[in-house]
Structure 1
Amino acid sequence: MRADHPLRAIRQLANESLAALQADFSALYSGMGRPLIPPERLLRAMLLQAFYSIRSERQLMERLDFDLLFRWFVGLGVDDPVWDHSTFSKNRDRLIEGDEAARFLSALLPQPRVKRLLSSEHFSVDGTLIEAWASMKSFKPEDGTGPGDPPTPGGRNADADFRSEKRSNETHASTTDPDARLYRKGPGMEAKLAFLSHALMENHSALLIDACGTRVSGHAERVAALAMIEAHADRSRSITLGADRGYDAADFVNERRSMNVRPHIAHNLTRAKGRSAIDGRTTRHAGYAASQRIRKRIEESFGWIKTVAGLERPMVRGVDHVGWGFTFAATAYNLVRLPKLMARVT
């Protein structure tokens, strides 16, 4: 492998973050029972899965079996046996229970080479739809009064006709993934079983500094934004938060101002009488236009996370698993961008 290969710098950054998590890793294991996959190797393998768009754990193990680059990055010797894909999945679930994705992201950002790239005053927030790994046929009445599935030959899925059936999250739930909710992204668009994932971006280098997943609702994006920006708010100095018009709500704007966070939010003029919670106190400043221009870069991270890292419709169920996967993919996105960003300032 050539000396300037991007994976060299990525592996060094990842190793420094993983070294800071050793105490957390030790707490996850009791030391009894069968030997488990070392967490640092498991997380490095999952990074490769995100970088190279490997769809399943089975395919990842097959790639590890013959690819020397993958073995070097993970920390496996040439003759070391590769894990069984089911063992890998079970060990990954243990990390999900320990919320190691958020800790991994948090351990990456304070590194001196990374911290100097980050802004502490200007941020952007946004949310994106993550389609659930569940069929619309699984969305059935919770009281069990709906029609039963007719028998089908050959093991095929039962036929279903939803045209005359009214379905809502108040009366129905997915039998495959009860955490998933029916959600329509916009007027005239198809409703899908989905989750919402949220990210907080710093505006200087467009790196993601926080991420989470939630169930879908009309106010989930604003609630998540409040939780993420609160850790960075400082009442002794003002910071800015850019966002799209979905965050243009009076309660959200007032809450931000009470925390000394200037809400650089796009006007939502589609509301009744075209009223917006953002007035001239905010829009008259040149920084407002800059925030509105830069905030759109967060869509680049969502595009990478969905298409390259495979989170458009992840093959996991439950809001905890989906949120963990999104946060981990956000860390992978930062690691992909960091070598070039660090090269610019050296």
Structure 2
Amino acid sequence: MMGQSIVQDQLFYAFNLDDHVPRDHLLRGVDRFLDLSELRQHLSPFYSHTGRPSIDPELMIRMLVIGYCMGIRSERRLCEEVHLNLAYRWFCRLGLEDRVPDHSTFSKNRHGRFRQSDAFRFVFEAVLRRCMTEGLVQGEGFAIDASIIKADANRARHVPVSEVAQWRQGTQCSRAVREYLDALDVANPVADDVPEGMHDTQTASRNISPTDPTARWTAAPGGPAFYAYSTNYLIDLSGGIIMDVQATPAHRTSEVDSTRTMIDRVEERFDIKPRRLVGDTAYGTAPLLGWMVEDKQIEPHVPVWDKTVRKDGSLSSGEFQWVPERNEYVCPEGHALRNERRRFTIARSHVTKADTVIYRASQTDCVGCAAKNQCCPNTPSRKIARSIHEGARETARSIAKTPEYSQSRRDRKKVEMLFAHLKRIMKLDRLRLRGLSGAQDEFLLAATAQNLRRMAKWLMPVEADVAMRIA
């Protein structure tokens, strides 16, 4: 006999939302470790004491956390999912009859109070403190790396840098364009005799997007070029927890410079400084190695950026012996290379604009040397440019020979796994917000979601096993 469902309206319902959310649901673990009790106090100076009550900022943060944890990139779709999904309503503290905010309110708050108050960094640091409380951060070793994320800009549309001055004369500019122009004003102040609108834009990229000028034109992944930003992660190697995140244009110099910003910020706000820092060759430049070794006393587990090895078969600088007692190099034939061969009345540092000291051999020694064709075939004498941070470079080279360095190279994969998770699971392979501040907001929320997911995945199963054993 064929059954038939009979739909009958009920006058009263006994419905508990918590009973319909599975105990092993990801959002239960995220809710366990997300504490927004101090968010209202942090945002209170940015709200008026009179007028119509606004939407609860905690509700909006919880909805954004859902979007980044579950890979829901569209704010319009996020509002629809929260309206329909019982687990999402439970996480947002919404009842069955409570209304979900309109998607347009996210843009208003993101570009207003949240950005002015740096609310997203406040939430990120609150989650990071919880990670420390749970024992997931040891602070012994950090890893640094960057990943390129496409900007919300059409790669087929671009303008020459000479048109930037004309943008200032327009009455209507987008938020991303205004931020770009303000950044140029800070970097290149206008002189009194320079007319308005004629700022120096030589530091800007030659290929500029009219919709997102701060985005950098890059072809780093090896395919067609596009506009992009870089998300820079500083992670703790013990548990893979993200300690800090910084958005920069997709340019190697900006990525490397962000290392100092993040390490200093973590030390200032959390009083944590790593014993070792792990990175790839891009972070093995002489100035950064000097900063790590000489200023911060951090062991650089980083390959040295070295271009001294010659490809024409001639002798490289590594085959010359450095004698620190005499402040000179000695070539394989026994001749000395010095930075000065006579005393000056006024002492000179001999440091060039490239932060190097040039050591030269005597032309007399080189002319009659039997190994001249192998040493300096195209110049009268041999010279070596020694970095002022060469001591730090030597420290990095000596560390590279230790077993700890080999382990650090394996541990560095943890930050690469976070980037793969960011793009594949959380679907953040292209930004939705424009401008450097928009990229920073997205990267902060994504890093917050990744730390929350890690705590939920790692700590909740342990608590469940303990409960089963007690029972």
1:241 aligns with 2:277: yes
292, 304, 326: which one pairs with 2:409? 292
Counterpart of 1:44, as a letter, is R
Change (3 A) 1:319 1:30: same
Give the equivalent residue in structure 1 for 2:194. Answer: none
Q: CA contact under 8 A between 1:169 and 1:182: conserved in structure 2?
A: no
Per the alignment, in what secondary structure is the counterpart of residue 273 of structure 1?
coil
1:39 aligns with 2:39: no
Distance in 1, matches of 2:256 and 2:461, equals 34
Distance in 2, matches of 1:241 and 1:66, equals 45
How far is the alpha carbon of 1:75 from its aligned partner?
A: 1.2
Cα deviation, 1:33-58, whole Å, max 9, x if unaligned, reads: 44322111111101111122212111
Give the equivalent residue in structure 2 for 1:116. Answer: 135
Change (3 A) 1:112 1:264: closer
**TM-score normalised according to structure 1 size:** 0.84
Give the equivalent residue in structure 1 for 2:302. Answer: 265
Change (3 A) 1:263 1:103: same
Larger radius of gyration: 2
Give the equivalent residue in structure 2 for 1:164. Answer: none
Give the equivalent residue in structure 2 for 1:67. Answer: 85
70, 77, 95: which one pairs with 1:52? 70
Counterpart of 2:40, as a letter, is Q
Counterpart of 2:302, as a letter, is I
Distance in 2, matches of 1:236 and 1:112, equals 14
Distance in 2, matches of 1:12 and 1:87, equals 27
Give the equivalent residue in structure 1 for 2:241. Answer: 207
Change (3 A) 1:323 1:240: same
Counterpart of 2:88, as a letter, is F
| Paired positions, count | 320
Give the equivalent residue in structure 1 for 2:290. Answer: 254
Give the CA RMSD over aligned residues.
Answer: 2.7
Counterpart of 1:320, as a letter, is S
Unaligned 5+ runs, structure 1 = 146-167
How far is the alpha carbon of 1:251 from its aligned partner?
A: 0.7
How far is the alpha carbon of 1:209 from its aligned partner?
A: 1.1
Change (3 A) 1:60 1:345: closer
Q: CA contact under 8 A between 2:128 and 2:451: conserved in structure 1?
A: no
**Percent of residue pairs identical:** 29
How far is the alpha carbon of 1:22 from its aligned partner?
A: 3.0
176, 193, 217: which one pairs with 2:211? 176
Change (3 A) 1:112 1:253: closer
Counterparts in 2 of 1:322-337, with a 5 A limit? 322-337=439-454
Distance in 2, matches of 1:303 and 1:316, equals 21
How far is the alpha carbon of 1:343 from its aligned partner?
A: 4.7
84, 100, 109: which one pairs with 1:91? 109
Worse-superposed segment, 23-32 or 82-91: 23-32
Distance in 2, matches of 1:343 and 1:84, equals 33
How far is the alpha carbon of 1:232 from its aligned partner?
A: 4.8
Q: CA contact under 8 A between 1:264 and 1:288: conserved in structure 2?
A: yes
70, 85, 94: which one pairs with 1:76? 94
Worse-superposed segment, 301-310 or 278-287: 278-287
